[in-house]
Structure 1
Amino acid sequence: MPAERPVQHLTWALIARRFYLDQRTKVEIAKEFGMSRFQVARILQQCLSTGLVTIHIDAHPYLDVELSERLRAAYGLQQAVVIRPQTEDHDGLLHALGATAADLLGESVQSGDVIGVTWGRTLDAMAPALPHLPRCDVVQMTGVVGMAANSVELVKQIAAVSGGAAYPIYAPLVVSTAAAARSLRQQPMVAAAMDHWGAVTRAAVAVGSWSPAASQFKELLTPAEQRELVRTGVVAEIGSTMIDDRGAVVASAVGDRCISMTTEQIRAIPSVVAVAGGEAKRRAIRAVLRSGMLTGLVTDGAVARWVLQHQDD
C-alpha cells in the first residue's frame, strides 16, 4: 500500500477488519461504505496481495497441514492427515498414527454409519484412543490373523465406544482349502458379519508390506505361495487384496481360501482410510494409493514426502 494514500489505507483496513474480525458479509460492508459488493471483494483481495492482511493458520504442532494438503491433492484423496512424530521409536509412531486415526474417525462418523475394520497394529492403537462415537455398528472385514484375535477385540472395543452392535469373525483369515473356507462362511457368526459387509460406510484399514516384508498375512502362506505372489509383483495388501507396485490388483489362487471382503466390496465403501506409516511400508503405501482403493490416509511426514517425491517413478 503506497504510503502517500493513508486514507485509502485506512478504508481498506476497516473493510478488512469488518470482514475478517467482525464476520460481516460483503453485502453488509458494501452498504456501510457506499460501494458494491464486487468492489469490496476486490479490496479484500488487494489487502491480501499487498500484505495489508496476512493469514496465519496455527494448526496442531503434531500435524503438517501443508504436507497433508499436498498429499491429498496429489493422490486425489478426500482426507489426508500427516503427523509429525515426536519420537523415532517405531512403537511410538504406531501409537501416534492410531491416536490420530481415532481423532479422525471421531470427527467423521455419524449416527447410523457402519464401521468396518481390518487387522493391524496401528488399528489396535486406534481403539483405546477413540472418543465418544455416535451410535453405529462395527463389522470385522477379515478373518483373524495368527493366534491372537486382535481384530475381534478391535471390533468389540469400537462397538463398546459407539454403543452399537459388534459383528466379529471368529475364523482365520486363511484356511487350508477352498472347501473349508466355504464351510466357515456358512457358520452363523461368520455369516452374520458377512451379511453386513455391504452396509459398511466407513472403513479403517491397515496396509501390509511385502517388499520389504512387514505383513502378517504373508506369514500365513507357505514359502511356495509367498514366492509365487512375489513373482507376480505383489508389494502390498489390504485385507486379502494383493496389489503390485503400479497399484494394480493381482489375482491370487489364495483368494478362494480367505475369509475376507473382496476388492469390489472394499471399493464400494464410501470412505476407506488407511492408517500406516514407517519407512518399511512406504512402497506399500504408495502402491495402495495408486490402486484407487483409498479415500483417505493417515501417515507420517517421512512417508508422505517419499510418496510425493516418487509419485511418478
Structure 2
Amino acid sequence: MPQINTSFNELTTSDQDMLTEIAVLYYQEGSTQDEISKKFAVSRVKVGRLLRKAREEGIVEINVRYHPVYSAQLERRLMDKFKLKRALIALDHSDEEEQRKQVATLVSGFLANNLTENSTVAVGKGRNVAAVADHAGIVIKRNARFVCALGGTHRSGDSTNADHICRRLAKKFGGTSETLYAPAYVDNPKIRETFFEHSVVADTLNQAKIAEFALVGIGDMNESSHMVQLGWFTPKEFTEARLEQGVVGDIGGFDFFKLNGENANSTLSSRVIGLGTEDLKRIPNVIAIATEDRKVLAMLGALRTGSIDVLATSASCAMALLSMED
C-alpha cells in the first residue's frame, strides 16, 4: 500500500495506480469505505486517509454544482436586495477565463432574447464585455446599433476597446457600430472639455445616452488592473484614489465611485472621455458584468450607485454580495 506521508510523484507506479483505483471506486462507482477496506485488506481508517491523499494530490477534484432551483433563488435574492430587473448567475469555475466565458454566455443569451429591431446599445470596454462579443452563440440577427460609450486606445489592449467590441457585436447580432473618435483618457480636464465640445464626439455620446441598453464592465482599484496595465493610469494614482478619496471602482471605465455608491469626483474621472453614472441612470437596461472574486467590493459600490439594472456574475460573487449587504 502507498504511504500517506509520501508525495504522489515519489510513489511507485503501482502505488499511484492503487491510489487512483481507490478514488475511482469511492467517488465514481459508489463503493463504501468498508467495501474498499475489504477489497484491499486495509483498515477503514486507512482508506479514509488514502481518499484524503487523493484529494490533496489532485487525483480527485470536488466541485459543488448548484441546482437550477438554487441558482434561481440566488438571482431572486439579488434582484430583491438591489432592486434589479434581472440577475444572471453563472456556476463557479476555478479558471478565470472560463468563468468569464460562462458569464458571457448568459449575457449573450439575454441580449439575444431582448434586443429588437433598431435597438441601440451603448458599449463600454474591458475583457468581460469583450467576452460577450466573442461568445460563439447562435443568435437571431437584429438591425441593432452598437455605440461606443467610451473613447479608445491604440495600445496593446485593442481587443478590449469599446470600438473593437462594438464592431464584433454588430457582426454577431447584426446591425451597425458607431465609433467614438476620441481617446479614452487624456492628461488633463481641459483637453477633455475640448473633446466634449467637438461636434462629432458630442453626437456619438448623445446617441449613447439615449440607448435602450448599455453593456458595461465593473472595474476595481487594484494596482494591476487592466487600465493600469494599459498605461491609462499609474499604480500610484490608483492607490491614492483608493486610500485618499475612498474610490473602490469604476463602471464601464468612465466613472468612479465610493463604496456607498456616491460619485467619487476623482481626478481620475476628470480625464475620461465617455458617459457618466448619471447618463447610465437614464438608460433603461444597464447590464453590468464582473466575474472576478476580487471585484466584489467594487460590485457592491456599483450596485449602490443605482445605475445598474442587470448584474451578470458568478455564484460565489453573488453570495458574497448578499452577505456583505446583509
TM-score of the two chains, using structure 1 as the length reference: 0.73
1:136 matched to 2:121? The reply is no
1:70 matched to 2:77? The reply is yes
Which residue number in structure 2 is paired with residue 153 of structure 1?
164
Aligned length: 253
* Displaced runs of 4 or more, over 3 A: 59-63, 182-192, 211-215, 222-225
Which residue number in structure 2 is paired with residue 54 of structure 1?
none
Which residue number in structure 1 is paired with residue 214 of structure 2?
203
Which residue number in structure 1 is paired with residue 292 of structure 2?
278
CA separation in 2, counterparts of 1:127 and 1:260?
A: 20
Per-residue CA distance 1:231-256 (angstroms, 9 max, x = gap): 11111101321111122211123333
CA separation in 2, counterparts of 1:246 and 1:207?
A: 15
Query: In 2 relative to 1, CA 307–245 (structure 1 residues): closer, same or farther, beyond 3 Å?
Result: same
Q: What is the CA distance between 1:197 and its match in structure 2?
A: 2.1
Per-residue CA distance 1:43-74 (angstroms, 9 max, x = gap): xxxxxxxxxxxxxxxx9959821111111111
* SS of match in other structure, 1:274: strand
CA separation in 2, counterparts of 1:192 and 1:302?
A: 40
Q: What is the CA distance between 1:186 and its match in structure 2?
A: 5.2
Q: What is the CA distance between 1:103 and its match in structure 2?
A: 0.7
Moved more, 93-102 or 180-189: 180-189
Q: Which residue among 298, 312, 319 is the counterpart of 1:298?
A: 312
Which residue number in structure 1 is paired with residue 91 of structure 2?
84
CA separation in 1, counterparts of 2:222 and 2:239?
A: 12
CA separation in 2, counterparts of 1:101 and 1:211?
A: 25
Give structure 1 stretches of 5+ with no counterpart: 1-58
Query: In 2 relative to 1, CA 233–82 (structure 1 residues): closer, same or farther, beyond 3 Å?
Result: same
Q: Could you say what the CA RMSD is over the residues aligned between the two structures, in angstroms?
A: 2.5
Q: What is the CA distance between 1:188 and its match in structure 2?
A: 6.2
Which residue number in structure 2 is paired with residue 236 of structure 1?
249
Q: What is the CA distance between 1:209 and its match in structure 2?
A: 0.7
Which residue number in structure 2 is paired with residue 96 of structure 1?
102
Per-residue CA distance 1:58-112 (angstroms, 9 max, x = gap): x995982111111111111001011113x31011111111121111111111222
Indicate if the aligned counterparts of 1:286 and 1:307 stay in contact, CA closer than 8 A. yes
Moved more, 252-261 or 212-221: 212-221
Query: In 2 relative to 1, CA 279–246 (structure 1 residues): closer, same or farther, beyond 3 Å?
Result: same
Percent identity of paired positions between Structure 1 and Structure 2: 23
Query: In 2 relative to 1, CA 166–255 (structure 1 residues): closer, same or farther, beyond 3 Å?
Result: same
1:166 matched to 2:177? The reply is yes
CA separation in 1, counterparts of 2:206 and 2:177?
A: 13
Q: Which amino acid aligns with 2:221?
A: W
